[in-house]
Structure 1
Amino acid sequence: MSVYEFSAKTIDGEEKSLKEYKGKVLLVVNTASECGFTPQFDGLQKLYNQYKEQGLEVLGFPCNQFGSQDPGLDEEISSFCQKNYGVTFQMFSKVDVNGDNAHPLFKYLTHEAKGLLSEKIKWNFTKFLVDQNGNVVNRYAPQTKPKNIQSDIERLLGA
């Protein structure tokens, strides 16, 4: 099994199979627009700009499960991300990442890369690095700044 078994609705409402990302390095992030970590959108966009030509894709999944920090509709979230952080990487429709209604992709990611003491995602901006074969390579805490993942991304890209 790999992340390619899953699909998700984009923030624009179209169903997208993750098979479309075969051969790419993925950084999958549960995001929020009103969180102390929200400025990480800037760092995620910088990583995307720097490495997209070499095969990096950043996939953002808004989530409102932590302190109700992403209460807006998909259109509002999309507009906020573009206006405030110039986000051009793929954003998806809002999802749950924990619990019975968790998106199947996040159930898979958390099973493959367990967090400290538990599989559950503890907060916004938890990041999962996935290799070109769809395998989960690492999980990063919300506090981990995108620039601190750069060397791991470069290693996977062969940069």
Structure 2
Amino acid sequence: MITPEPPRTAEQRLRDTLGRLRDDHDAWGATASPDGIPCLVPLWFAWDGTTLLMATRRTNPTAVNVTPTGAIRVTLGTPRDVVLIKGEAEIVEGPDLPTADGDAFAAKLGWDPRQRSPWVYLRVTPHTVQAWREANEQAGRDLMRFGTWLLGPSSPDRSAVLPS
């Protein structure tokens, strides 16, 4: 039998979530085709305090599916410590990416897809962020709704979430 950890406070969940966004390297990105066929893939990502920047090939279903609607879901962690992000993604071609964003992505992940055709970036703007570990955290899992953090400032300090 698995003994659940005690529930975290909302403030601790937010700190843990921002830490994952800052420190994790991989996330699961989910999109769907216009016919409703799902596509779930692991993607590298960097967080700038407001958006996630992810990279994939332009021809992969993930990027193709983003084009019509922009809808995307992203998850970090494990089933017993999950961060679920629902948002909108836009395609950014490597040459169109601001230099600072590309440099931050390359510094965090150790590779730079800007000059690798057909690689593109997905800039994901979160609308909803939820985090929970066990059933005892389900009730307070919402950390962001309608693009606004429910605790603290509407946009956390970028220095707290960018790689050093």
TM-score for both structures, normalised by structure 1: 0.31
The structure carrying a bigger helix percent of its residues is 1
Bigger relative contact order, structure 1 or 2 (CA pairs below 8 A, ≥6 apart)? 1
- TM-score between the two structures when normalised by the length of structure 2: 0.30
